[in-house]
Amino acid sequence: MSSISNQPSPPLAVEMHDIVIRFPGVLANDHVNLTLKRGEIHALLGENGAGKSTLMNSLAGLYKPVSGVIKVNGEVVNFNSPRDAISKGIGMVYQHFMLVPTQTVTENILLGLKEPRFFVNLSIYNKKIQALQEQFGLRVDPSAQIWQLSVGEQQRVEILKTLYRGANILILDEPTAVLAPQEIDDLMKTMRRLVEQDKSILFITHKLNEVTAVADRLTVLRKGKVTAEGIGIEGVTREKLAELMVGRKIIFQVDKKSQKPGEVVLEVKNVSALNNKGFPALKNVSINLHQGEILGFAGIAGNGQSELAEVITGLRSCSGSIKINGKQVANQPPGKSIDIGVSHIPEDRTGVGTAPNMSITENTIMKNYDQEPIGNRWKINFTSAREYATRLKDKYEILAPSISTQARKLSGGNLQKLILAREISCCPSLMVAVQPTRGLDVGAIEAIQNLLLEQRENGTAILLISEELEELLSLCDRIAVIYEGELMGVVEAADANLTNIGLMMTGSMRSQA
């Protein structure tokens, strides 16, 4: 056997060589190379669908490469299941969390382990896990059930899960996509602490500022191929990185035309509502929104933004008055606001935004299936439905094998484009968009933001709920800040002060205006 054992330097933590992975119709990884040094944070970048998760899943034992060699700590490995990878010290935090919502933190961490053998005395293990938490500064109540935890806490559970198994190579698949800014900072701190304790980390992200903040080197994938292999982060610019990822230049400045807002479209007056758990989520909120205006809602997740979107679109009952174009929609069925022309880009793209098991065609006609020419009273004309879907797919550049592809097979960016395509086409007067760019790559974000601005120019009133202050500042005309269901203030985006918005988001300040 040929070997490279005459090298004196310590073996690399991970060495992936010439990896090829295929899915039906897609070459997800095309001869990919990747190396991870011991004690480093290595960023893996790429657009949605570039093949990052696929590559990492093969390192975690979930997929088997068609060809290629994987070495862990210098030793060639051949994983048949996640269990094999775990035994070699590899721990993966998946993009979509792998947690059992109805079990406690401790139960989730213990799943699949040999010990405890049969009887599970949770209190003993709660203590063990608390000790582990101290060591790495990952705080979360071990006896809480997963569904009670915030996304950030759930992520900590995922990391604890790998650490409890003694992982020394951690893979974090887009860990920041679901986090609020504060939580992202915490995660970065955790990552640094982990490498201090001799762990090595592979970190998938889209965002350059995160890369420069923590990573030592980076690798970029585009359409399954490596476009930059293990380069140092010094001197890498945002523009250069975007070009490596997308294959074309990205202009980070959005092109917002100045225009005068028109008449009032949305009139929210003294609206209060409860959240799913029965606690007050909105307290006496009043606000107006005009034609051709983008009104941003800033706030830390869970402060009533989702509920606000739901009461306007008829998905949640409330007290108070909500008028759209002069018509009362509060406590009316969603069908009514659809008829008035309200479009909704929901936060939950697979649960609310689409029917994941239905085709692109079926998903595009969901709001106008009963209108000519697609449908009449009792039947759907699938020929014109397919024409309609094809038109939208082309116009909005939705990348998918065909219009009969199931929605759940689309990547995040394309799924979001599908939702926008449907909503823009059906309901032009008011758009309620919740976190429309969350978790998307630069190319998709650019596309979505441009679509929103285009709608603004067409005179649509847009309510934009986002946690990305930068996005709000660049897109919005006005920004409202919400904290614990209360409106803390509304500021003009042009003369907004970031510090003040931050203070209002945490409830420490209220604008007088």
Partner 1 sequence: MNLEIILHAGLATGTILLFAAIGEIFAERAGVMNLGVEGMMLLGAMAGFSTSLATQNAWLGLIMAIFAGGILSLAHGLVTIHFQADQVVSGLSLTFLGTGLALVLGEGLTGQNPPLIPNVSLPILASIPFLGSVFFTNHSILVYVGYLFIPLTWYYIYKTRPGMHLRAVGEKPSAADTLGINVYRVRYFYVFVGGCLAGLAGATISLSVSPGWYSSQTTSGQGWIAVAIVIFAQWNPVRAAVGGYLFGMLRRFILDLQGPALLFGFQNPIFMNHNLSFFLQMTPFLLTIVALVWGSQAAMRKRLGSPAALGIPYIRGERGL
Ligand X SMILES: Nc1ncnc2c1ncn2[C@@H]1O[C@H](COP(=O)(O)OP(=O)(O)O)[C@@H](O)[C@H]1O
- Phi/psi at 450 (nearest 5 deg)? -65, -35
To partner 1, the closest distance from the beta carbon of 115 in angstroms equals 9
Q: Which residue matches tokens 């003040």?
A: 500
Question: For residue 95, which of 350, 292, 289 has the smallest C-alpha distance?
Answer: 350
The window from 20-28, 66-74, 194-202, 478-486 that contacts ligand X (CB under 6 A) reads 20-28
State both tokens at 198: 């001799």
Tell me which of partner 1, Mg ion, ligand X, none is bound by residue 28, counting a contact when its beta carbon lies within the kind-specific cut-off of 5 to 8 angstroms: ligand X
User: Which residue, 154 or 425, is less far from partner 1 as judged by CB?
Assistant: 154
Amino acid at 269: K
Name, in order, each residue with C-beta under 8 angstroms of 225's C-beta and a sequence gap of 6 or more.
30, 31, 32
Q: Which residue is nearest to Mg ion (CB)?
A: 53
CA quadruple 104, 106, 111, 115: dihedral sign: negative
Binding positions for ligand X, 353-412, rule CB under 6 A:
411
User: Which residue, 415 or 487, is less far from Mg ion as judged by CB?
Assistant: 415
Beta strands 225-232; 217-222: pairing state: antiparallel
Tell me which of ligand X, partner 1, Mg ion, none is bound by residue 124, counting a contact when its beta carbon lies within the kind-specific cut-off of 5 to 8 angstroms: none
To ligand X, the closest distance from the beta carbon of 95 in angstroms equals 7
CB 271 within 8 A of CB 319: yes
User: Which residue, 72 or 184, is less far from partner 1 as judged by CB?
Assistant: 72
CA atoms within 13 A on the CB side of 480: 23
- Phi/psi at 277 (nearest 5 deg)? -90, 0
User: Which residue, 247 or 326, is less far from ligand X as judged by CB?
Assistant: 247
To partner 1, the closest distance from the beta carbon of 223 in angstroms equals 18
User: Which residue, 206 or 316, is less far from Mg ion as judged by CB?
Assistant: 206
User: Which residue, 46 or 91, is less far from ligand X as judged by CB?
Assistant: 46
Rule CB under 6 A: say whether 414 interacts with ligand X. no
User: Which residue, 26 or 77, is less far from ligand X as judged by CB?
Assistant: 26
To ligand X, the closest distance from the beta carbon of 223 in angstroms equals 8
Rule CB under 5 A: say whether 53 interacts with Mg ion. yes
Tell me which of partner 1, Mg ion, ligand X, none is bound by residue 51, counting a contact when its beta carbon lies within the kind-specific cut-off of 5 to 8 angstroms: ligand X
User: Which residue, 105 or 226, is less far from Mg ion as judged by CB?
Assistant: 226
Tell me which of partner 1, ligand X, Mg ion, none is bound by residue 288, counting a contact when its beta carbon lies within the kind-specific cut-off of 5 to 8 angstroms: none
CA distances from residue 247 to 32, 190, 212, 289 in whole angstroms, order as listed: 17, 32, 21, 38
To partner 1, the closest distance from the beta carbon of 279 in angstroms equals 15
Burial classification of residue 201, based on how many CB atoms lie within 10 Å of its CB (0-12 exposed, 13-18 middle, 19 or more buried) = buried
To ligand X, the closest distance from the beta carbon of 414 in angstroms equals 9
Chain centre to alpha carbon of residue 315: 22
Q: Cis before residue 10, ω within 30 degrees of 0?
A: no
Question: For residue 73, which of 10, 19, 18, 17 has the smallest C-alpha distance?
Answer: 10
| Distance separating alpha carbons of residues 398 and 405, to the nearest angstrom | 11
User: Which residue, 337 or 363, is less far from partner 1 as judged by CB?
Assistant: 363
- Total number of residues that touch ligand X (CB under 6 A): 12
User: Which residue, 60 or 461, is less far from partner 1 as judged by CB?
Assistant: 60
Q: What is the DSSP letter of 508?
A: S
User: Which residue, 63 or 483, is less far from partner 1 as judged by CB?
Assistant: 63
Tell me which of partner 1, Mg ion, ligand X, none is bound by residue 46, counting a contact when its beta carbon lies within the kind-specific cut-off of 5 to 8 angstroms: ligand X
CA distances from residue 28 to 128, 172, 439 in whole angstroms, order as listed: 40, 19, 20
To ligand X, the closest distance from the beta carbon of 448 in angstroms equals 16
Cross-sheet strand order for the sheet of 75-77: 26-36, 14-23, 67-72, 75-77
Binding positions for ligand X, 30-89, rule CB under 6 A:
46, 48-54
Name 45's bridge partners. 205, 220
To partner 1, the closest distance from the beta carbon of 350 in angstroms equals 6
Question: For residue 316, which of 299, 334, 303 has the smallest C-alpha distance?
Answer: 334
- Total number of residues that touch Mg ion (CB under 5 A): 2
Rule CB under 5 A: say whether 176 interacts with Mg ion. no
Binding positions for Mg ion, 67-96, rule CB under 5 A:
95
To partner 1, the closest distance from the beta carbon of 116 in angstroms equals 5
State both tokens at 124: 């003993």
Amino acid at 420: L
User: How many residues would you count in the chain?
Assistant: 513
Tell me which of Mg ion, ligand X, partner 1, none is bound by residue 10, counting a contact when its beta carbon lies within the kind-specific cut-off of 5 to 8 angstroms: none
Q: At what angle do helices 442-457 and 238-246 cross, to 10 degrees?
A: 100
Binding positions for Mg ion, 93-152, rule CB under 5 A:
95
CB 263 within 8 A of CB 427: no
Q: What is the DSSP letter of 10?
A: P
**Given the rule CB under 8 A, which residues bind partner 1?**
57, 60, 62-63, 81-83, 86, 92, 94, 98-103, 107-108, 110-113, 116-120, 161, 276, 350, 356-357, 408-409
* Binding site residues, ligand X, CB under 6 A: 23, 26, 28, 46, 48-54, 411
* Binding site residues, Mg ion, CB under 5 A: 53, 95
